[in-house]
Amino acid sequence: MKPPTETDLLPDSAEAAAVENPAVGIDQSAGNFSYNMEYAFDAGTGLSEDTIRYISSVKKEAPWILEFRLKALKKFLSMPMPTHWATKDLENIDFQKIRYYLSQGQKPKRTWDEVPDDIKKTFERLGIPEQERKFLAGVEAQFDSEAAYSNIKEIVSKQGVIFVNSTEGLREHPELFKKFFGKVIPTGDNKFSALNSAVFSGGSFIYVPPGVKVAQPLQAYFRINAENFGQFERTLIIADEGSEVVYMEGCTAPKFSTSTLHSAVVELVALKGAKIQYITVQNWANNVFNLVTKRGIAHEDAEIKWIDCNIGSRLTMKYPGVVLKGERARGEVISIALANDGQHQDTGAKMIHAANNTTSNIVAKSISVGQGRSTYRGVVHIPKHLKGCKNNTECDALLINTNSRTDTYPAISVRGDKNSTQHEASVSKVSEDMIFYMQQRGLTEGQAMSLAVNGFINDLARQFPMEYSVELKRLIDLEMEGSVG
């Protein structure tokens, strides 16, 4: 029930350290490999109506889904790149060089024995320990486009929870998922949500019945395993009245020389009084464009919390949002971003208040190392005739090296005199006194820097599940190696 940890990976990482840059280290080395796969279904590279029809027919989808995909493709092609506000790096994506669908044609496996050996090997390299493999219940490890392994823990299904991949969700439970599918994030929301709507495959569809509190966090791993292969997972989580669920998503990816595109759409629906917590640790390889749309709708008294941690990728653009639709709904985004050389973490949050007495909180911390660039972009919107709405936003940026870069671009709109917002941001560096103090006590400069950076995000990291915060600490230690001196 947890992502790979250092202990699990020690033999591998030691091996990797011998041959490659040791600073890349644990997590990346775990993902730094690929097998020659015999892809049973391959839509080839490039994007056209035929690609869409091919994907849809392979998945044996209902006609309305094909219709939905084709419409989305038109939308995608008609929309301009958002480069009037976003980075020009987006122009380097060559959509015709991307593989939009790839599958081994397997149905999600129900038991461990049915999982093919080479895929088991992948899990091994990912460092999932023996006992956990047996307990993989609740873990959906996405191997390329399809869920290679999808086993719902017995207890969870006994509670009536549906935890399937997107294809299965739309096929087996259309009555449940069709109602909200594409409703939180409409196809035309942005160019990349349109792209995802056209070519989506994989991802999780989850339904939690009224009053059910899922004790275990549901987890899914995603990885990319083919050169130029884009991953377009689609996730929809519906928490019915009074239910509670925690979903965790972690990513590792092999390193490739050419750019890879990852463009997911994640929709959350928290009905009256429900609580959803969505945790992401993103650590794609440094050639991945990670352009993700994530949004939740919180109904009356519901609560949606995004915990979003971005460490990898070449360019991440991701602004998890909450539409506070019902009275007293609460939205929260906790965001940590770390940008190293060659990386741009363009992350943030959106809070759309649409009912009285709704509250939202955004806490974002970013660290820029070397020539890394981190950007906070946020929207807080409180329209007319609402009362008692409150937003608090805090953004702190830490710059490690003299040429590191950080930007902050919030947009706050408030109408009326019965609401309040506050936004604060600061930029700082690690204090020399602090480093000096720690060096006096025997730490190397690098260790001291690591400790200081971990201290900077400590109050946020504590909100992660324990194993994630441990992993986060190790990732930061690795990223900070070589950043000083």
292 - beta bridge partners?
318
Residue 406 beta carbon to another protein: minimum distance, rounded to whole angstroms: 5
CA distance 350 to 357: 17
Residue 442 beta carbon to another protein: minimum distance, rounded to whole angstroms: 26
CA distance 289 to 317: 8
CA distance 195 to 76: 6
| Nearer of residues 369 and 438 to another protein, judged by Cβ | 369
| Nearer of residues 426 and 458 to another protein, judged by Cβ | 426
Q: 134: Cβ–Cβ under 8 A, 6 or more apart, which residues?
A: 112
Cα torsion through 350, 354, 359, 365, rounded to 10: 0
| Nearer of residues 21 and 403 to another protein, judged by Cβ | 403
Q: Are 262 and 284 in contact (CB under 8 A)?
A: yes
| Nearer of residues 297 and 448 to another protein, judged by Cβ | 448
Residue 196 beta carbon to another protein: minimum distance, rounded to whole angstroms: 23
Q: State the helix-helix crossing angle for 63-78 and 191-199, rounded to 10 degrees.
A: 150
Contact positions toward another protein, by CB under 8 A?
A: 84-85, 368, 384-385, 397, 399-429
- As given in the structure block, the two tokens for residue 447 are 């260790």
Residue 96 beta carbon to another protein: minimum distance, rounded to whole angstroms: 27
176 by DSSP, 3-state: which?
helix
Residue 466 beta carbon to another protein: minimum distance, rounded to whole angstroms: 32
Residue 272 DSSP label = T
| Nearer of residues 120 and 423 to another protein, judged by Cβ | 423
Q: How many CB atoms lie within 10 A of CB 432?
A: 8
Q: Which of 309, 420, 403 is nearest to 365 (CA)?
A: 309
| Nearer of residues 6 and 327 to another protein, judged by Cβ | 327
Residue 373 beta carbon to another protein: minimum distance, rounded to whole angstroms: 9
| Nearer of residues 194 and 279 to another protein, judged by Cβ | 194
| Nearer of residues 66 and 484 to another protein, judged by Cβ | 484
| Nearer of residues 92 and 420 to another protein, judged by Cβ | 420
Max alpha carbon distance in the chain (Å)? 69
| Nearer of residues 420 and 439 to another protein, judged by Cβ | 420
103 by DSSP, 3-state: which?
strand
Residue 420 beta carbon to another protein: minimum distance, rounded to whole angstroms: 4
| Nearer of residues 14 and 81 to another protein, judged by Cβ | 81
Instruction: Count how many residues are written for the chain.
Output: 485
CA distance 112 to 150: 9
According to DSSP, the β-strands at 330-339 and 390-399 are unpaired
Exposed e or buried b per residue across 378-397, where buried means at least 16 C-beta atoms within 10 angstroms of its C-beta: bbbbbeeebeebbbbbebbb
- As given in the structure block, the two tokens for residue 306 are 């995004």
| Nearer of residues 400 and 448 to another protein, judged by Cβ | 400
Residue 61 beta carbon to another protein: minimum distance, rounded to whole angstroms: 35
Q: Which of 72, 50, 53 is nearest to 63 (CA)?
A: 53
| Nearer of residues 158 and 385 to another protein, judged by Cβ | 385
Residue 401 beta carbon to another protein: minimum distance, rounded to whole angstroms: 6
CA distance 18 to 451: 25
According to DSSP, the β-strands at 373-382 and 303-310 are unpaired
Q: Which of 444, 3, 2, 1 is nearest to 251 (CA)?
A: 3
Whole-Å CA distances, 243 to 158, 164, 296: 15, 18, 15
Residue 364 beta carbon to another protein: minimum distance, rounded to whole angstroms: 12
Q: Are 254 and 282 in contact (CB under 8 A)?
A: no
CA distance 464 to 392: 20
Residue 45 beta carbon to another protein: minimum distance, rounded to whole angstroms: 32
Residue 444 beta carbon to another protein: minimum distance, rounded to whole angstroms: 20
Q: How many CB atoms lie within 10 A of CB 10?
A: 12
